[in-house]
Structure 1
C-alpha cells in the first residue's frame, strides 16, 4: 500500500469554487492499475481566513502511484487544475507514505 496526499490552503472566499472544481472533474483514477481509493478532505476554517484541504489516494504500491504520475490519465485529469484563476495559496504540498504497520 502507498498513500499519496496533496495539501491545499484555500482562502474561504475561494472554497466554494475550489470544491466545485474538484467535485466536477474527471479524475481517470479508476483507469489506473493499482488505484484503490480517493478522498478529498476538508479541514475547519482557520483564524487566518483559510481552509486546509487534502486530496488522499491509496495505491497498491509506490510504483503504481509513480506510474500514475507519468500517465496520460494524470495529464488529462490535471489539465484544468490551475484554471484561469488559481484557487489555492502557494503550491500543493505533496506527502507520500508507505506503511510500517497495518491493523485490520
Structure 2
C-alpha cells in the first residue's frame, strides 16, 4: 500500500470555498489502475490558516507514479485550484508513505 497526501494551508474563512472546489472537480482517479481510495481531510485551524490534506491510497508506489504520468492526471490538474487561487497560503506540500507493516 502507498499513500500520497497533499497538505494545503487555506486562508481562514475560505474553508467552504476550498471544499466546494474539491466537490465539483473531476479527479479521474477511477480510471487509473492501482487506485484504491480518496479522502479530503480537514485539520486544525489557527489565525493564519486551516489545514487540509488530500489523502489517496494506491496499490503500490508504481501505481501512484503511473497516475502522475497519466492523461487522467493532466486532466484532473488542468485547472488546479480553480479561479480561487487567492485562498491558498502557498503551494500544496506533497507527502508520500509506503506501508512497511
Q: Same fold (TM over 0.5)?
A: yes
Task: Give a deviation string over 1:33-85, Cα, whole Å, max 9, x none.
Answer: 00000000001322x24110000000000000001001110111111113233
1:68 equivalent in structure 2: 67
The CA deviation at 1:31 is 0.5
Task: List runs of 5+ in structure 1 lacking aligned partners.
Answer: none
1:16 equivalent in structure 2: 16
Task: List runs of 5+ in structure 2 lacking aligned partners.
Answer: none
1:82 equivalent in structure 2: 81
TM-score of the superposed pair, with normalisation by structure 2: 0.93
Q: Is the 8 A contact 2:9 2:89 kept in 1?
A: yes
In structure 2, distance between residues paired with 1:51 and 1:82: 16
TM-score of the superposed pair, with normalisation by structure 1: 0.90
Range 77-86 or range 13-22, more displaced:
77-86
Q: Which runs of 4+ in 1 moved over 2 A?
A: 82-85
